[in-house]
């Protein structure tokens, strides 16, 4: 779709202009580029190009699921003692997000400033094996 077509579409939707349409839909309503692509039957690259052309800063890929988890020795210990699922729920993360971060941390791919702790199997008395 040409730039003037987007401008016309915005006016049909009762926006003053294209920029205001993107500000409302993408920035205020937080619709994803994929959602906008489906809504306007246009490719994601086209939507991204229009956002950029109108000076709308784009969010990083992954949206709300793209969360950075800083794993500390304390977090590892909590997961050992309480379980990954309850800790993830309390932190507002999915089990998979927290579990993946813990695995990366264990392999030394986690937070560079944190040494990887020795991870022992959890036993009911908390003493390891």
Q: How far apart are CA 11 and CA 29, in angstroms?
A: 18
**pLDDT confidence of residue 26:** 93
Name the DSSP letter for residue 122: -
Q: Give me the mean pLDDT over the 1-20 stretch.
A: 93
The domain segmentation of the chain, as residue ranges, is 3-61, 67-106
| CA angle in degrees (0–180, nearest 5) for 49-13-32 | 40
**The two structure tokens encoding residue 15:** 């926006």
**pLDDT digit string, tens, across residues 32-47:** 999 999 999 999 999 9
| Pair 42, 34: CB distance under 8 Å | no
**The two structure tokens encoding residue 14:** 């009762």
* Lowest mean pLDDT, pick from 40-54, 70-84, 98-112: 98-112
**pLDDT confidence of residue 65:** 55
| Pair 36, 26: CB distance under 8 Å | yes
* This model's pTM is above 0.95: no
* Lowest mean pLDDT, pick from 52-56, 59-63, 101-105: 59-63
Q: Which of 96, 104, 105 is nearest to 74 (CA)?
A: 105
Which residues, in sequence order, are CB contacts of 110 under 8 Å at separation 6+?
A: 71, 101, 104, 116
Per-residue pLDDT for 79 more than 90? yes
Share of the chain above pLDDT 90, in %: 53
Mapped onto helix, strand or coil, the DSSP state of residue 67 is: coil
């Amino acid at each position: 779709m040409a730039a003037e077509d987007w401008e016309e579409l915005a006016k049909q939707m009762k926006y003053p202009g294209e920029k205001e349409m993107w500000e409302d839909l993408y920035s205020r309503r937080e619709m994803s580029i994929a959602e906008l692509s489906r809504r306007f039957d246009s490719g994601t690259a086209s939507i991204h190009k229009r956002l950029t052309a109108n000076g709308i800063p784009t969010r990083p890929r992954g949206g709300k699921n793209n969360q950075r988890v800083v794993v500390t020795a304390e977090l590892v210990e909590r997961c050992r003692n309480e379980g990954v699922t309850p800790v993830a729920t309390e932190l507002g993360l999915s089990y998979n997000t927290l579990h993946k971060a813990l695995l990366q941390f264990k392999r030394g791919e986690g937070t560079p400033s944190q040494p990887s702790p020795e991870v022992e199997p959890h036993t009911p008395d908390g003493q390891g094996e």
